[in-house]
Amino acid sequence: MAANENLPPNVIKQLAKELKNLDETPPEGIRVGVNDDDFSTIFADIEGPAGTPYANGVFRMKLILGHDFPYSPPAGYFLTKIFHPNVAPKNGEICVNTLKKDWNPGLGLRHVLIVVRCLLIEPFPGSALNEQAGKMLLDDYEEYARHARIYTDCHAIKPKPKFKNGAISESAAALNVDQTNTSALSTEQKNGATGAAVSLPSPLAPTTNTAAKVSQDQPTNAAPSTVTDTGVHGSTTLSVAPMMKNKENVGLPKGGNADKKKIDARKKSLKRL
C-alpha cells in the first residue's frame, strides 16, 4: 500500500472507479492490467491496428502516475520493443502531445490509452524520439513499414485467437439446421415405412374384388337381389329372381297348350253328333 499512499485519497478513489470501468468496457484493441496495491503504475496491452505494420502484434506499455497526478501528465513507456518514430529505441518512452503540452487534468486514462493506440496508426515524425524511424517514414514509407513489420514479428506478443459470439451463433444455427434436416429425414423415412404398412389391405376388410367373387359364387336360389344397369337412356333396375323365373317358363315345351285345344275341339264335335 506504500505506493498508493503517494497519491491523494480522492485520486485513488477516482482511479479505482476509472480502472473498473476500463475493465468492464475496455476500448477497442486495449486491455488494462491493474495492481490493486499500486495504482501509480498502470499496465496495458495494445493490439496493433489492422492495415498498419503493427498488425497481428500486441505491444505492452505502462503509464506511471506521479504524486501530483492528475495535475501533471503520466509518463508512458512501451515495454515491448517497437520500431516507431515517437517511441525512444532505448527505454521505450512515448512522445505524444497529449502526454506533454496538451495535457489536461480532466483527461482520463481511457483517453490517454486511445491516443497511444492511434499513434500506431498515424505517427508524428516531427516530434520523433527515434530519428531513424522518423526519417525513414518521410523518405521511404515502404522501407519504414518493412522495418516495423520485422520488429513486430520478432518482438510483439502474438494475439490470442478470438471467437466472436456471432460466429458461434451462426455455427450453432447451422448445426441445428443440419440436425433438424436429419431429424426431418428420419421422420419422413419412418412415416414412409408406416404409410407403406397402412396402405396394405386389412385381412379383416375384404376387397371389392373378393366381395364380387363371393356374389358370383352364390347359388341361383339365394335371396333376390337387384342389379342396376346404367345406359344411355338412364338407369334400369332389374330383379334377379323374376328373371330366373322367366327363364324357367321359357324352358317349358310350347306344345302343351296346342294339344289341349285339339282335345277341346274334339269334345265339341262329339257333342254336336
21-50 pLDDT, tens digit each: 999 999 999 999 877 778 899 999 999 999
- In this prediction, residue 61 carries a pLDDT of 97
**Taking Cα atoms as reference points, which of 26, 103, 113 lies closest to residue 66?**
103
Work out the average pLDDT over 205-219. Answer: 44
Q: Is the pLDDT of residue 2 over 60?
A: no
154 as an active site residue: the answer is no
Q: Supply φ then ψ for residue 256, to 5 degrees.
A: -60, -45
The structural domains of the chain, ordered by start, are 9-154 (3.10.110.10)
Calculate the average pLDDT of the chain.
Answer: 74
- Could you report the per-residue pLDDT of 128-172, keeping only the tens digit for each? 999 999 999 999 999 999 999 999 999 999 987 764 444 333 434
Strand, coil or helix: what is 140?
coil
Backbone angles phi, psi at 59, to 5 degrees: -120, 125
Catalytic residue among 95, 96, 119, 128: 95
